[in-house]
Structure 1
């Protein structure tokens, strides 16, 4: 496993604040599904101007979510890619300022809205997906520690199968994966 393949945890409130913007989430999605891009190519793909994209790219870079690719640079043009293997965790409430809590809550709402849209899409399209949509539901009785162990094992499994568009074999497609656990009582 190379250094770039190792899981890195990001739980710094300031870094997470960088994610609490819809355009930044779109940038990360585009880099994750389409591969490296410049601010110019991202601007065209996302319908934004390059100045706006450059600002948001800097915020994502500062937060540790993207990295530049110096070997692809030509002149002043910088190429960006998403950082692989990130484990983004919400810091404990007591470690955040009020402003950071507001940003974390906004990020939580954006992510949940996306998750609801994905669940609705799964419901509507799964039967016709020809095996491209898979899901599972379960109920288990776990201790808090076992739930934490399950979560860590899931992250390890994600890391094992994690690759960007540059490393994907022929026939691979970008697949959105979600997992969450919550008490049933």
Structure 2
């Protein structure tokens, strides 16, 4: 995704439900992380057939999430093989009080799919952490913090975090400008007001 100011807010329920497919989310993640690639290259990473990858890429392109990549200096993408890339315009998904039932349902469905994919990435990173170098282990952070804020403060905090992260995003930062040793990393940010928990009551004696 690109900087917050250029993101397109998703409101089309059909597009959101199309994107929420696990294989399509994995494909989009692959394109954003590694740059342009072919359907065959995507298939190898996602674990599907090249024909299935081509179908999912066409569906992603239909709704503007991916597009044809330009011909590279080495000739890739010249018509003999089709190179895909994530679209230049990023996107965001945020519930809105004015959303109708279809839009609200599609947003909740997509956000849950995002969260499942994010949880899987975090779990795999945690399982692999002991195999990382000391440098990367020290740099990693798995944190959960409770905040006492009002709505305006929470919104401002969200904007400040996005501004901080934007220059480092894979769709923004030129790989040639990154320092030696740079690798794909992930930031997972969730800012939300906690829902009040209903008391469960005391357990009954057996």
Tell me what 1:56 maps to.
56
Structure index of larger Rg = 2
Which structure dedicates a bigger proportion of its chain to helix? 1
Partners of 1:105 and 1:85 in 2: how far apart? 22
Query: Which residue of 2 is the match for residue 147 of structure 1?
Result: 154
Moved over 6 A (4+): none
Shift of 1:104: 3.1
Kindly indicate whether residue 34 of structure 2 is the aligned counterpart of residue 34 of structure 1. yes
Sort the Cα spacing of 1:121 and 1:19 in 2 relative to 1 into closer, same or farther, 3 A: same
Q: 1:137 to 1:105 in 2, by over 3 A?
A: closer
Gaps of 5+ in 1: none
Q: Secondary structure at the match of 1:48?
A: coil
Q: 1:147 to 1:85 in 2, by over 3 A?
A: farther
CA pair 127-22 structure 1, distance change in 2 beyond 3 A: same
Residue correspondences, number: 181
Structure 2, gaps ≥5 residues long: 197-206
Return closer, same or farther for 1:141/1:127 CA change in 2, 3 Å cut-off. Answer: farther
Q: CA 1:116–1:44 in structure 2 vs 1: closer, same or farther (change >3 Å)? A: closer
What is the root-mean-square deviation in Å for CA atoms of aligned residues?
3.0
TM-score by length of 2: 0.70
Aligned pairs (5 A) from 1:84-103: 86-92=90-96, 94-98=98-102, 100-103=103-106
Q: Which residue number corresponds to residue 111 of structure 2? A: 108
Paired position in structure 2 for 1:157: 164
Q: 1:8 to 1:108 in 2, by over 3 A?
A: closer
Match of 1:81 in 2: 85
